[in-house]
Amino acid sequence: MERWKSVVPILLALVIALTGSLLLYKWMQSQTASAETVQVQAEAVPVCVAAVDLTWGTKIEPAMLKTVPYLKESLPSGYFTKPEELKDRVVITPLKANDPVIEHRLAPSSVTTGGVSAIVSPGKRAVAVKGDKVIGLAGFISPMNRVDVMVTIEDPATESEVTKTVLENILVLGTGTQIQKNDKGDPAPVDVYTLEVDPVEAEKLSLAATNGKLQLSLRNSMDAEKILTPGATIPQTLASLRNPAPEVKRQEGPRGVPRSEVTVEVIKGNDLAKQKM
């Protein structure tokens, strides 16, 4: 018993020491974490981002935005810190939710009207043409795509139809549907495609849309190569993938000279006879 009386105080002291050390360690960890949090918060800067998806041409209202903290080292160029600073600015490139709203994605501050006019490049024009689901590749053509424009039209020089690519690498500004009266006078939906062209291209597009039938061909956005084509006519198209012409049978003529076999039609009165020569 005497021996246990001397051991118990030592065990109690060890338990108390271990408990105190553990509590002190946890306290020091919490203090360190708090200090790191305060430091991070001190170095963060609020940046305006889109609260919802914003399409091009949208006129911004503060309710469409929110702020998120960005580290100073990762701040985007041309950022804004307050939604009120962006009131009535116009978006010229689509923004997804949480994308930062920066200066180069906005129209100049002098532009206060949204829509297509805000996103047309200087020196360009927006021209709309009517079409259908076939022309628009069943909905695969979307704003910001690049297309080539083909037209099927009658060539006045030959008085025959020809299909020709007349415009290449044209930016699609918008697609939509309008309600117009059809041939019977009933309301019917008509697809409309708004393209960005220069003034010369605008004239070609208007002429092609007025006198011929348009077709859009979707191209890779990274493909900027221009290809010159001769156009396709009906005879050329029908001659495509045709079997080679059969060889003409040849017979030996006088003195071993080969000659072609020719069939001649001989008409005698009302009788028609064929004779091979």
For strand 160-181 and strand 146-155, is the pairing parallel, antiparallel, or unpaired?
antiparallel
pLDDT band at 41 (very low <50, low <70, confident <90, very high): low
Asked if residues 129 and 209 have their Cβ atoms less than 8 Å apart, the reply is yes
Q: Is the pLDDT of residue 259 over 60?
A: no
pLDDT 10s digits, 183-195? 666 555 567 888 9
pLDDT at 78: 92
pLDDT band at 180 (very low <50, low <70, confident <90, very high): low
pLDDT 10s digits, 130-153? 876 666 666 678 888 899 999 999
Is the pLDDT higher at 131 or at 54? 54
Please name which of 101, 12, 27, 21 lies closest in space to residue 59, comparing C-alpha atoms.
101
- Cα diameter, the chain: 154
Q: Is the pLDDT of residue 201 over 70?
A: yes
Q: State the pTM of this model.
A: 0.56
What's the mean pLDDT in 164-190? 73
Residue 132's alpha-carbon distances to 11, 136, 149, 179, in angstroms, are 90, 6, 14, 12
Six-digit token string for 76: 């985007």
Is the pLDDT higher at 174 or at 8? 174
Q: Is the pLDDT of residue 215 over 80?
A: yes
pLDDT at 248: 57
pLDDT at 20: 76
pLDDT at 158: 83
pLDDT 10s digits, 73-109? 889 999 999 999 999 898 888 899 999 999 988 888 8
What's the mean pLDDT when you consider all of the chain? 79
163/236 Cα distance (integer angstroms) = 11
Percentage of residues in the chain with pLDDT exceeding 90?
A: 31
Is the pLDDT higher at 32 or at 153? 153
| Residue whose pair of structure tokens reads 């072609």 in the numeric block | 260
pLDDT at 188: 52
pLDDT at 140: 78
Six-digit token string for 147: 């297309």
Q: Is the pLDDT of residue 275 over 70?
A: no
Worst-scoring range by mean pLDDT, 2-6, 10-14, 48-52, 214-218?
2-6
96/103 Cα distance (integer angstroms) = 16
